[in-house]
Amino acid sequence: MSTYYTEDHEWIRVDGDTGTVGISNYAQEQLGDIVFVEVPEEGRELTKGDEAAVVESVKAASEVYAPVSGSVVETNSALEADPALVNSDAEGEGWFFTMTIADESELEGLMDEAAYQAMIEG
Amino acid sequence: MAETKTEDLKTTPLDALHRALGARMVPFAGYAMPVQYKLGVLKEHLHTRASAGLFDVSHMGQAVVHGADGVAATLEKLCPGSLAELKAGRMRYSMLLNEQGGILDDLMVTRPAGPLPGFDAADQMMVVVNAACKDADFALIESALAEGQTLTILADRALLALQGPKAVDALAKLVPGVTTLTFMTADVFTWEGADLFISRSGYTGEDGFEISVPNEKAEALANALLADELVEAIGLGARDSLRLEAGLPLYGHDIDETTNPVEAALTFAIGKRRKMDRDFRGEEEIMRDLFDGAIRTRVALLPEGRGIAREGSKILSLDGTEIGTVTSGTFAPSLERPIAMGLVDSEYAKEGTSLSIELRGKPVAAIVTPLPFVPHNYVRASK
């Protein structure tokens, strides 16, 4: 499995031809306490860069963009009762949704973990 | 994210302490202020309602108006309250009004229990105003002074707020005398050789105190309180959600120069004698609105769902007409749901009115609800 990051602080963990999507630990830190996550409907078709989800913190609402094109398979129902999972485990239990990957080549434009760390430290 | 640049921002005497505690600092009214500490906004809010929260509010303006008799009358030139009737050791919420009755700022006015240390026995009243308005407020008060009166800004004092059901327990360990205070009373106490001006008041709806402390003792006092396991440091983020749950307006957002006390639903601050004498700023517009009803009214709203209705969001009637604007909104940790305040056309201001709020382009149902959202826990004098 490989994890890729976008410039907008989303991650996608790829397993075969599906990926799990969430926001990075850095992003949750910047947002502060998260009180609400609006995830896309299962089956929704996403194009890379589409607004896929909204994460609402006490401070502000932020859009979460589709890192690649595909369709939404499953959404994380745990987030409804416990949006704070995004704060406590952004890159694990705080995942937002899984999706099919329509075009693997779109992953090439994303960063690996080292490149993403360099970006946020830079 | 790079640390907030603070070269151009003013700092309070607790700046080093905030940073040592790991606070996230943000610019606020020209000051570098802590928006949250390591606990985060939600936990800081809940801790305040359960135990005791310590806030640095030193950015606010503290001043004493003193000198020739008639200090209360001087303030009454600007405020609609019956301030002359304020007894020694008592305080009142009030507002500075412009000539049309629009609110220039809201403030606390205190008649000290006795002459304040550093001030002689002359007539005197203490005021605490909002940070963003303090320069303009003090200039305005100065312009209203009578012969022989002076406004002295307490630039040598910090201001701490300790709020919550355990605030009295924590503070009494350091200053036993505070147990004699009741809601909206104030006095001077000594701690480690310093004079503290303490009032039993605050901005959270909980029991608590505001403590004016000399700058050089502020950090020591904060540390002494934080050493108590009952007390946690609380940032401005939680301060906002606490005051909103308590139904308290925030100047510059829920109330401003375009709102008079009737529109702002703050008519309790207009004194009875003042209404009879009709002698306050903007009395023509304000009395007209009191008798005929104001065109707009501040209301409390409960949006459905979990999305936060933020300031500036449009408020619509059920038929889709725009009839108001959200002036404050947040997630209420004590209620686990969003809450908001807004200014609406008065015919929609009745409790129970169904409205909708535009959240990110979509209408969300909301209902007009009584204030406060969370009951107050003030410790009043027993009759």
In terms of Cα–Cα distance, which of A13, A1, A5 is closest to A117?
Answer: A5
Minimum distance, in Å, between the CA of residue B1 and any CA atom of chain A: 8
Q: Most B CBs within 10 Å: which of A33, A37, A120, as the mutation test of the B interface? A: A33
- Which of B41, B306, B360 is facing A58, going by the closest CB pair? B41
Measure the CA–CA gap between B124 and B149, rounded to whole angstroms.
9
Measure the CA–CA gap between A52 and A66, rounded to whole angstroms.
5
Q: What's the pLDDT tens digit per position in B130-153?
A: 999 999 999 999 999 999 999 999
**Residue A84 pLDDT more than 90?**
yes
Least confident of A3-12, A66-75, B1-10, B213-222: B1-10
Q: Which residues of B touch A39 (CB under 8 A)?
A: none
pLDDT for res B360: 87
CB B173 within 8 A of CB B162: no
Count contacts between A and B (CB, < 8 Å). 39
- Which of B1, B237, B360 is facing A58, going by the closest CB pair? B237
Residues 6+ apart with CB under 8 A from B133: B61, B104, B105, B251, B252
pLDDT for res B7: 62
Q: State which H helix or E strand residue B261 sits in.
A: none
Nearest 5°: phi and psi at B91?
-140, 160
pLDDT for res B382: 75
pLDDT for res A27: 96
pLDDT for res B8: 85
Q: ipTM, 2 decimals? A: 0.83
Minimum distance, in Å, between the CA of residue A84 and any CA atom of chain B: 10
Q: Which residue of A has its CA nearest to B307?
A: A36
Minimum distance, in Å, between the CA of residue A71 and any CA atom of chain B: 23
Minimum distance, in Å, between the CA of residue B250 and any CA atom of chain A: 16
Are B42 and A35 in contact (CB < 8 Å)?
Answer: yes
- Which of A33, A60, A83 is facing B40, going by the closest CB pair? A33
Report residues of chain B scoring pLDDT below 70.
1-7, 383
Instruction: Tell me the pLDDT of chain A averaged across its residues.
Output: 95
pLDDT for res B3: 47
Q: Which residue of B has its CA nearest to A26?
A: B1
- Which of B43, B241, B360 is facing A61, going by the closest CB pair? B360
Q: Which residue of A has its CA nearest to B37?
A: A32
CB B326 within 8 A of CB B271: no
Are B307 and A87 in contact (CB < 8 Å)?
Answer: no
Are B307 and A59 in contact (CB < 8 Å)?
Answer: no
Q: Which residue of A has its CA nearest to B44?
A: A33
Q: Which residues of B touch A54 (CB under 8 A)?
A: 360
Q: What's the pLDDT tens digit per position in B326-352?
A: 999 999 999 999 999 999 999 999 999
Number of H helices, E strands in chain B: 9, 19
Q: Which residues of B touch A33 (CB under 8 A)?
A: 40-43
Q: Most B CBs within 10 Å: which of A28, A31, A58, as the mutation test of the B interface? A: A58
- Which of A30, A59, A61 is facing B1, going by the closest CB pair? A30
pLDDT band at residue A59 under the 50/70/90 scheme: confident
pLDDT for res B42: 95
Cis peptide before B370 (omega within 30 of 0): no
Residue by residue, DSSP assigns A38-57 as: EPPPTT-EE-TTSEEEEEEE
